[in-house]
Amino acid sequence: MDLRRRLLLSNLSLLVIPPTATALLAALVFGALNLFPGAGVGFADFEKAFRLRTELFSAAATVWRESPDSVATEEFGKYITARLEGLTAEVLVEKSGVALYATDGLRLSDVAARDGAESGSGQAPALATRTVSIGGVPYVLQAQRITFSDGATGTVYLLAATDRRIETAEVLVVSVPVTFVLFCLITVLAYSVRTSRTVSGPLVRLNETVAALSEGQLAREVVEQGDEEIRQVQRSLEKLRLKLQESVAQRGRIDESRRLLVSSISHDLKTPITSILGYVEGLRDGVADTPEKRLRYLETLRAKTLQVDRMIDDLVFFSKLELDQVPFDFQDVDAAAYFAERVEENREGYARDGMAFVFEDRLPAGAAVRIDRERMKRVFQNLFENARKYRRGVTGRISVVLREAPGRVLVEVRDEGVGIPKDSLPYIFDRFYRADASRGKADGSGLGLAIAKQIVDGHQGEIWVRSTEDEGTTFVVSLPVAPAGGTRTEEA
């Protein structure tokens, strides 16, 4: 439920439930009473009860108004009896324990013992009402204290005959407001219990969670509970928590990769530099003693220096890619034309080295991909290079096949080289990873595939490998098809 509806409902039910419940209960009691003969209470009984109370009260008011001495006279007694006519009323005025005036047959002993005044000295209330039975007849007895001019105290007793039904009516009249208040309390209580379950409780827990998060306890999940608005807050907080957790983890990964980078750089640069040092010392010490030898030494030095230079370039490029520092320059290009161009620009150079290209386009005409042309070039340069470096024997063949998959263009680069050992396969896209056999033989830093993967990832693409040792390796680059209507560059 949402918070607004809950508030509205709680206010409405406070308006509706107590009166309805009270009315229902009253009707029930009323109906139940009417089942017993003689116990039934009718409208006339309520009226009588009301009249009885008001008449007695107004008589009391008259007594207050009159001077106490005149109250003790017979005229006043008659006047009051006349006023209470129709109620079957009796009057008795007492002064210092002696009855000064009484209606026929009423004795002081009938009333004095029953008004409760005698028991406590001087604590009797100014006006006390109770129900008594005199000669088997129930009466409402009202005792009113007065002080005469001579300082003596006395009591005015007013009696009005009542009956069971009037008494019941009186009880009912008093019960209704009490019941109403009771129902109000119950409703309020029920709603505050509910509100605390669905609003306050979840808010308190939410607050605890936020406190825990701010202390860095990011593993603590934000539980969804309570009303809709609170759930929304919890959902947003949970998203925030996941993001935070992810960014903390990413920072950890970056730190880790930085450590690895530093140690790998030192290791991988050391090998060519040691060898450069060897050749330089050879030259200095005159080991290369003929001009031809010296030239060979210098050529080797140049090659090693170039290798170091390339490694440093790769490293710089890779860390830029990893830190997302160089933006991609995406263009929609015709896939077949673009990849044919990659093959053609390398065909001649590779042929000189004994490598032949086979190009096969199985794409539907006009299939386009959105790529950064220069970066993608680098991916395929490394794949071709790998096929050449890790070939079997002196010649080899590189097949480039373009295929279509739902929403994707797949580019396969297949070779018939040495293949990759099964236990190396999971690591070849890691930076600096080189299968053991490759380390001694071919030049390289082991960054080529890591760079390729970063670039392909930047294209929302995927790259994966299949390989069998001594048979060959196939790399597959999967790129999303460019959405129709993009800027299209036709290949020359």
Ligand X SMILES: Nc1ncnc2c1ncn2[C@@H]1O[C@H](COP(=O)(O)OP(=O)(O)OP(=O)(O)O)[C@@H](O)[C@H]1O
Binding site for ligand X (CB under 6 A): 314, 382, 386-387, 390, 415, 417-420, 428, 433-435, 438, 444-450, 473
Q: Is 386 in the site for Mg ion (CB under 5 A)?
A: yes
Contact by Cβ (8 Å): 373, 440: no
Contact by Cβ (8 Å): 449, 428: yes
Q: Strands (DSSP E) along 96-184, which ranges? A: 98-102, 127-134, 137-147, 153-161
Q: Nearest-5° angle of CA 322, CA 327, CA 331? A: 125
How many C-beta neighbours within 10 Å does residue 247 have?
11
Partners of residue 474 on adjacent β-strands: 414, 466
Rounded Cα distance between 93 and 97, Å, is 10
Smallest separation, CB 469 to ligand X (Å): 9
Q: Which phi-psi region, left, alpha or beta, contains residue 415 (left: φ > 0; alpha: ψ -120 to 50)?
A: beta
In the bound state with ligand X, the residue whose beta carbon lies nearer, of 359 and 433, is: 433
Contact by Cβ (8 Å): 142, 158: yes
In the bound state with Mg ion, the residue whose beta carbon lies nearer, of 346 and 382, is: 382
CA end-to-end span of the chain: 64
Q: Where does this chain touch Mg ion (CB under 5 A) — which range of 4-12, 269-277, 363-371, 443-451?
A: 443-451
In the bound state with ligand X, the residue whose beta carbon lies nearer, of 111 and 355, is: 355
Smallest separation, CB 247 to ligand X (Å): 28
Smallest separation, CB 271 to Mg ion (Å): 16
In the bound state with ligand X, the residue whose beta carbon lies nearer, of 231 and 377, is: 377
Smallest separation, CB 380 to ligand X (Å): 12
Binds 445: which of ligand X, Mg ion, none (CB < 5-8 Å by kind): ligand X
In the bound state with ligand X, the residue whose beta carbon lies nearer, of 162 and 382, is: 382
Size of site (CB under 5 A) for Mg ion: 3
Binds 100: which of ligand X, Mg ion, none (CB < 5-8 Å by kind): none
Sole binder of Mg ion in the list 417, 448, 461, 472 (CB under 5 A): 448
Smallest separation, CB 411 to Mg ion (Å): 17
Q: Is 307 in the site for Mg ion (CB under 5 A)?
A: no
Rounded Cα distance between 127 and 57, Å, is 10
Binds 390: which of ligand X, Mg ion, none (CB < 5-8 Å by kind): ligand X
How many C-beta neighbours within 10 Å does residue 336 have?
20
In the bound state with ligand X, the residue whose beta carbon lies nearer, of 227 and 268, is: 268
Record the tokens describing residue 52, joined without a space: 């009885």
